[in-house]
Amino acid sequence: MLDLRRLEILARFAARGTITATAADLGYSPSAVSQQLATLEREAGIALIERTARRASLTDAGRELAGHAARILDAVESAESRMRARAGTVGGRVAVSCIPALAPALAPRLAELQRVHPELTVVAHETGSANAAAAVLDRRYDLAVIDDWSAHPPADGTGLAVHRLRREDIVLAVPAGHPLAGHPGPATAARLRQIVADRTWLCAPVGQLSRAAGDRHLASVDATPSRRWEFEGLHVLAALVAADAGVAFLPAGMAEEQPGVTGLRTAPRMRRTLLALTRSTTRDDPAVAVCLRAARQALGDGR
């Protein structure tokens, strides 16, 4: 009978592509991974891996078996979650990912969990929203807090459970001294076109969801920034606006909290949604549930 741990190694290898990375992910030595994959090939009775001296890649059979492995591991994880739910024990290791901007708000809540549930180990990382879904499905994280800048955030899908934490309005952040700050009407298309012509436009680097959403909005009102500066991190953008370095789109809460910044409602309205992602196989796991609840308390809008 095929061995579950070997199947897990194969699935991880399919996701990562090299034996060394697979070993690092799983906490084994590359040697162990190499041996286990060799054993799995013997058990399966067919070549799963194409070996060159420097590179190992999956054969067709290997790819197919990795697919089966993913489904099998899902079923096992699901069964484990159900048992933990029955036992009602909060324990084990939960890997959490959070976008950097929200980490300061989330971390204390998670730290508190460790106090309430001594058996629980939370491992938290900061990562962007872009690949979070894949990372959760890949079991690199069990819970990921991300933001979604599109009008219609994703819903539960293949293996992924999506939990809406909060909706936030996006505002045009201008320095408190700016003429528009005195007339706090909405940032209409005309106003936007004018301001991007006058002032430096501050935004996230290409590839970030907030950048794409902001660019879409500007394009929709036919506003083309005359000068762009790119910075990583919404808090950095907020500080730059306060320092009169330019203007930017920011979440309303963040603009309010930043002294020296005034936020103007956008028209048409622009929003982002804070989401938490889990695997549907861990839906029943109490450990994941308490982490999700902590995220709701730290970041949710109370619903």
Partner DNA sequence: ATCGAGCATCAGATCTCCTTATCCAGTCCA
Partner DNA sequence: TGGACTGGATAAGGAGATCTGATGCTCGAT
Chain residues in the site for DNA (CB under 7 A): 3, 5, 18-21, 27-32, 34-39, 49, 51-56
Name the residue nearer to DNA (CB basis): 21 or 107.
21
Total residues in contact with a copy of itself, by rule CB under 8 A: 29
Q: Least distance in Å: CB of 16 to a copy of itself?
A: 18
Applying CB under 8 A, the span of 75-83, 159-167, 249-257, 258-266 interacting with a copy of itself comes to 75-83
Peptide bond into 100 cis (omega under 30): no
The Cα–Cα gap between 180 and 234 comes to 21
The Cα–Cα gap between 117 and 114 comes to 5
The Cα–Cα gap between 267 and 187 comes to 6
- Token pair of 65 as six digits: 């078996």
The Cα–Cα gap between 298 and 142 comes to 18
Tell me which of 8, 142, 148, 285 binds a copy of itself, using CB under 8 A. 8
| Residue 91 and residue 287 in contact, taking contact as beta carbons nearer than 8 Å | yes
Q: Does 50 bind a copy of itself (CB under 8 A)?
A: no
Instruction: Look at phi and psi of residue 233 and say left if phi exceeds 0, alpha if psi is from -120 to 50, else beta.
Output: left
- Token pair of 123 as six digits: 């491992």
Q: Exposed/middle/buried for 32, CB within 10 Å: 0-12, 13-18, 19+? A: middle
Q: Least distance in Å: CB of 224 to DNA?
A: 38
Tell me which of 33, 49, 65, 288 binds a copy of itself, using CB under 8 A. 65
Of 197, 230, 190, 194, the closest CA to residue 214 belongs to 230
Do you know the residue count of the chain?
303
Q: Least distance in Å: CB of 33 to DNA?
A: 7
Tell me which of 24, 38, 44, 267 binds a copy of itself, using CB under 8 A. 44
Determine how many CB atoms are found less than 10 A away from the CB of residue 250. Answer: 26
Give which of DNA, a copy of itself, none residue 44 binds (C-beta under 5 to 8 Å, depending on kind).
a copy of itself
Give which of a copy of itself, DNA, none residue 89 binds (C-beta under 5 to 8 Å, depending on kind).
a copy of itself
Radius of gyration in angstroms for the set of CA atoms belonging to the chain, rounded to a whole number? 23
Tell me which of 20, 78, 188, 200 binds a copy of itself, using CB under 8 A. 78
Q: Least distance in Å: CB of 119 to a copy of itself?
A: 10
Name the residue nearer to a copy of itself (CB basis): 145 or 287.
287
Give which of DNA, a copy of itself, none residue 152 binds (C-beta under 5 to 8 Å, depending on kind).
none
Dump the DSSP string for 178-195.
SHHHHS---B-HHHHHHH
Q: Does 284 bind a copy of itself (CB under 8 A)?
A: no
Applying CB under 8 A, the span of 82-90, 162-170, 221-229, 235-243 interacting with a copy of itself comes to 82-90
Site for a copy of itself, rule CB under 8 A? 1-5, 8, 44-46, 60-61, 64-65, 68-69, 71-72, 75-76, 78-80, 82-84, 86-87, 89, 91
